[in-house]
Amino acid sequence: MEKSLSFLNPVIILAFIIFFSATGYILEWATGLSSWIIMAVSAVISLALTTVLHVFVLVPLASAEESLGYTEESLVGRVGKLIISIPENGFGEIFIQSKSGIISKPAASYEQRAIQEGRRVLVLETRQGVLYVVPYEDDLDAPESGT
């Protein structure tokens, strides 16, 4: 939402109404002031509380990272390890370690050739939830055993 219209955020509007109503109810119940004075005081208190909510809660939440998760596009270029071999023209499974844990996804060979379990692979592309991988260059000389 634009900065100039951020006060039209539904959360802020509802918070203002709730604070205004609650303050007005408490002041009507606890004091003998005129209703017009209570309305003015309630509006000022509600504005102050809503401003505090906006500045100290809503703005930091909006500028925080969206998630510790990942998108499929963010996996391109990452190195993972095969936990299930990829047969020629088939699918296997890869796991990639990240800050938020281990990501396990289906994988296929980008070059349509078999890749053995335990090999480190480089993710080149993602299509429909499948990561297309090639053996990682540092692993080209490694034996193709499943150990």
pLDDT in the model for residue 68:
55
Res 146 pLDDT > 50 = no
Distance between CA 29 and CA 20 in Å, rounded? 14
Domain boundaries defined on the chain:
6-63, 72-136
pLDDT in the model for residue 21:
97
- List, for residues 125-137, the tens digit of each pLDDT value: 998 889 999 998 7
Range list of β-strands (E), 20-119: 79-84, 91-98, 101-109
Among 91, 60, 95, smallest CA distance to 81 is for 95
Which residues on neighbouring strands pair with residue 93, listed in sequence order? 84, 106
Q: List CB contacts of 86: < 8 A, sequence separation 6 or more.
A: 92, 107, 108, 109, 114, 115, 133
- List, for residues 55-101, the tens digit of each pLDDT value: 998 888 877 655 556 778 888 889 999 999 999 889 999 999 877 78
Contact 76, 55 (CB under 8 A): no
Contact 95, 49 (CB under 8 A): no
pLDDT in the model for residue 5:
58
Average pLDDT over residues 43-60: 92
Measured CA distances, 85 to 36, 82, 91, 104, 124 (Å): 76, 6, 8, 14, 17
Tell the CATH topology of 72-136. Answer: OB fold (Dihydrolipoamide Acetyltransferase, E2P) (2.40.50)
